[in-house]
A and B are shown apart, each in its own frame.
Chain A
Amino acid sequence: MHITRGFTGRPRVADPGLPPGQYNAGDHWPVLSAEVTPELAPADWTFRVDGLVAEPRTWDWEEAHRLPPSAYEGAIHCVTGWSKFGVRFTGVSLDAFLDTARPHVSATHAVAYAHTGYTANLPLADLTGGRAWIAWEYDGKPLAPEHGGPARLLVPHLYFWKSAKWIAGLRILDHDEPGFWERNGYHERGNPWEEQRYSGD
């Protein structure tokens, strides 16, 4: 450990919800995306699950909204260092989509891709079991375009670059394929509790 002369940091209380190396962003919700925010109307939004599945399927906005609603309330964590607590997203559990598509037994990973072309890879185990959502409301209101509206992937137990904005689909695979940031040096999985920020961490 290397002490920085004169650095005390913010007044702090031990926060068991804060992963190592993170700070509490409070009410602030920074926007971080590398591409131009798309003008994507709900009527033009679709979500597809294909690849190693029994039934490849595309849902449009109305079809997706007919699935059972599901909410997430808790924290989100960005690799750049901020965490945000008490966020509330509403949408549909990813399990509802995968139950229809039925991944093959050989399936191990997925690549999430956005309507902008952004991609992120995830182990299938991180997308199932009630731990991932397609979210279209934040705090009871439609998700803002700059935060991924009309709909984004939400995988809150991993760093937030995995929660692809403007989600367009999941390609189910039997191997891992690095996505956009993963090819740019970020970690394959991105677990905030293990500080998996960059490849090699």
Chain B
Amino acid sequence: MTETFVPPTRLAVPGRIAVSEQAASEWQSATITGIRRETPRVTTFRLAVPDWPGHLPGQHLMVRLTAEDGYAAQRHYSIASAPDDSGQIELTLDHVEGGEVSGWFHTVARPGDRVEVRGPVSGFFAWPGDRPALLIGAGSGVVPLMSMVRHHRARNLTVPLRLVVSARSPEELVYARELGAETTAVFTRSAPEGVKVGRMAAAHMVPLLAEQPPGGWEAYVCGSNSFAEHASRLLVTAGQPVDRIRIERFG
């Protein structure tokens, strides 16, 4: 008996997104060409990657650092920049306490240094810009979402896109200068005068889900696990179908 198994999946892998096997499996050398402070703890690193095959907003890559004795450490990072033809990509990294790889980037790296990268990898969290996107992020979870916002702007896309982003304070809001009318910022510890301090809540989701664009939202949630749990529950409670919520958790 041979049957073609059709998985009972409600998690659509976007068929329109192809992950290149070759790009995902080969390490290549990347050169740091720029370093830009975003917040006291968060910095953007620009990398020239000569053979970068291109990516979609929301995809990530792996970075590998190698010590003189051959010891290597590798980590997954979301790509912050929009797809373009510059041959360069940007990563925005939190300075993780005791972080082996992020620690090197934040305390040692300077322009001209080389690291190895492979990717882009994974297509599930990617957004090609073809359907309305509701982006929910916290802290550095805004990084892959910013790639989507930048893509939306760079291509003058008219498909609806909204970003709700949570930060502890205005000083810790990553990409603060770049956020525009598409964005609602939520501050959990301190806020600008006249803005309420508090956790992301139903009140932020309900209006967005009450006025659904044609075809409905595709929701993208990114942040710590506890934030992802909280935000995805808010979305479900407000009526967003579970199979149209994609989650990237920063373990």
State the A residues within 8 Å of B (CB): 1-10, 12, 21, 23, 28, 30-38, 51-52, 78, 80-82, 104, 106, 111, 113, 116-119, 146, 168, 171, 173-175, 177, 179-181, 183-186, 198-201
Determine the distance from Cα of A134 to Cα of B239 in the docked complex, in whole angstroms.
Answer: 32
Determine the distance from Cα of A200 to Cα of B124 in the docked complex, in whole angstroms.
Answer: 19
Select which of A23, A52, A81, A201 is within 8 A of B25 by beta carbon: A201
Known A-B contacts A1-B66, A113-B9, A200-B22; A80 and B122 likewise in contact (beta carbons under 8 Å)? no
Known A-B contacts A4-B115, A9-B67; A34 and B247 likewise in contact (beta carbons under 8 Å)? yes
Other than A10-B73, A80-B75, A200-B24, give 11 A-B pairs with Cβ distance below 8 A: A4-B113, A6-B113, A10-B100, A12-B71, A34-B11, A78-B251, A146-B225, A146-B229, A181-B122, A185-B121, A185-B123
Determine the distance from Cα of A133 to Cα of B227 in the docked complex, in whole angstroms.
Answer: 30
What's the least CB distance linking A82 to chain B, in Å? 7
Known A-B contacts A2-B29, A198-B21; A7 and B65 likewise in contact (beta carbons under 8 Å)? yes
Residues in B1-25 with C-beta less than 8 Å from chain A: 1-5, 7-11, 13, 19-22, 24-25
Known A-B contacts A7-B67, A117-B8; A23 and B249 likewise in contact (beta carbons under 8 Å)? no
List, in ascending order, chain B residues with CB within 8 A of A184's CB.
13, 19, 122-124
List, in ascending order, chain B residues with CB within 8 A of A33's CB.
247, 249
Determine the distance from Cα of A175 to Cα of B21 in the docked complex, in whole angstroms.
Answer: 21
Determine the distance from Cα of A1 to Cα of B71 in the docked complex, in whole angstroms.
Answer: 10
What's the least CB distance linking A16 to chain B, in Å? 15
Which residue from chain B places its CB closest to the CB of A38 in the assembled complex? Answer: B242
Indicate if B70 sits at the interface (CB-CB under 8 A): yes
Most chain B C-beta atoms within 10 Å of own C-beta, residue among A3, A23, A181 = A3
A-B contact pairs, 27 of them (CB 8 A): A1-B70, A2-B66, A4-B66, A4-B104, A7-B104, A9-B71, A23-B100, A30-B249, A31-B251, A32-B249, A34-B11, A34-B125, A34-B248, A51-B5, A52-B1, A80-B76, A117-B8, A117-B9, A117-B243, A118-B11, A119-B7, A146-B229, A171-B5, A184-B122, A185-B123, A186-B122, A200-B22
Indicate if B68 sits at the interface (CB-CB under 8 A): yes
List, in ascending order, chain A residues with CB within 8 A of B229's CB.
37, 146
List, in ascending order, chain B residues with CB within 8 A of A201's CB.
25
Indicate if B74 sits at the interface (CB-CB under 8 A): yes
The answer to whether A3 and B67 touch across the interface, beta carbons within 8 angstroms, is: yes
List, in ascending order, chain A residues with CB within 8 A of B1's CB.
52, 104, 106, 174
The answer to whether A80 and B251 touch across the interface, beta carbons within 8 angstroms, is: yes
What's the least CB distance linking B73 to chain A, in Å? 6
What's the least CB distance linking A134 to chain B, in Å? 18
What's the least CB distance linking A53 to chain B, in Å? 11
Contact-residue size bin, chain B (C-beta under 8 Å from the other chain): 35 or more
The 8 closest A-B pairs by CB, nearest first: A30-B251, A185-B19, A200-B25, A117-B10, A198-B24, A6-B108, A31-B225, A117-B9
Determine the distance from Cα of A81 to Cα of B76 in the docked complex, in whole angstroms.
Answer: 8
Determine the distance from Cα of A75 to Cα of B1 in the docked complex, in whole angstroms.
Answer: 37
Residues in B63-108 with C-beta less than 8 Å from chain A: 65-68, 70-76, 100, 104, 108
The answer to whether B13 and A21 touch across the interface, beta carbons within 8 angstroms, is: no
Indicate if B168 sits at the interface (CB-CB under 8 A): no
List, in ascending order, chain A residues with CB within 8 A of B20's CB.
185
Known A-B contacts A2-B29, A3-B66, A81-B74; A111 and B245 likewise in contact (beta carbons under 8 Å)? no
The answer to whether A180 and B11 touch across the interface, beta carbons within 8 angstroms, is: yes
Known A-B contacts A23-B73, A201-B25; A5 and B19 likewise in contact (beta carbons under 8 Å)? no
Determine the distance from Cα of A116 to Cα of B1 in the docked complex, in whole angstroms.
Answer: 28
The answer to whether B245 and A35 touch across the interface, beta carbons within 8 angstroms, is: yes
